[in-house]
Amino acid sequence: MKKIVIIGPESTGKSTLCEQLAQHYQTQWCEEYAREYLLQHGTKYSFEDLKTIAEGQLSLEDKYADAVQKAFAEQKTNLAKEPLLFIDTDMYVMKVWCEYVFGKSHNSILEQIAARKYDLYLLCNIDLPWVAEELREYPDERPRQELYRIYKDIMINQHVPWVEINGIHDERIQTAIKAVDRFVR
What three-state secondary structure class fits 119? coil
Percent of the chain having pLDDT more than 70? Answer: 92
Q: How far apart are CA 120 and CA 31, in angstroms?
A: 17
Confidence tier at 128 by pLDDT (50, 70, 90): confident
pLDDT in tens, 88-123: 999 999 999 999 999 999 999 999 999 999 999 999
Distance (Å, rounded) from C-alpha 34 to C-alpha 57? Answer: 7
Q: Are 44 and 96 in contact (CB under 8 A)?
A: no
Domains of the chain in start order, with CATH, are 2-184 (3.40.50.300)
| Radius of gyration, alpha carbons of the chain | 16
39-93 pLDDT, tens per residue? 999 989 999 999 999 999 999 999 999 999 998 888 755 556 789 999 999 999 9
d(CA 100, CA 177): 31
Work out whether the CA dihedral 23, 72, 177, 8 comes out positive or negative. Answer: positive
Which residues have a Cβ under 8 Å from the Cβ of 24 and sit 6 or more positions away?
79, 173, 177
Q: Answer yes or no: are the C-beta atoms of 2 and 184 closer than 8 Å.
A: yes
Which pTM does this prediction carry?
0.92
- Cα–Cα distance between 57 and 116 in angstroms, integer? 12
Nearest CA among 12, 22, 57 for reference residue 4: 22
Q: Which of 58, 160, 178, 176 is nearest to 124 (CA)?
A: 176
CA nearest to 83, candidates 97, 72, 91: 72
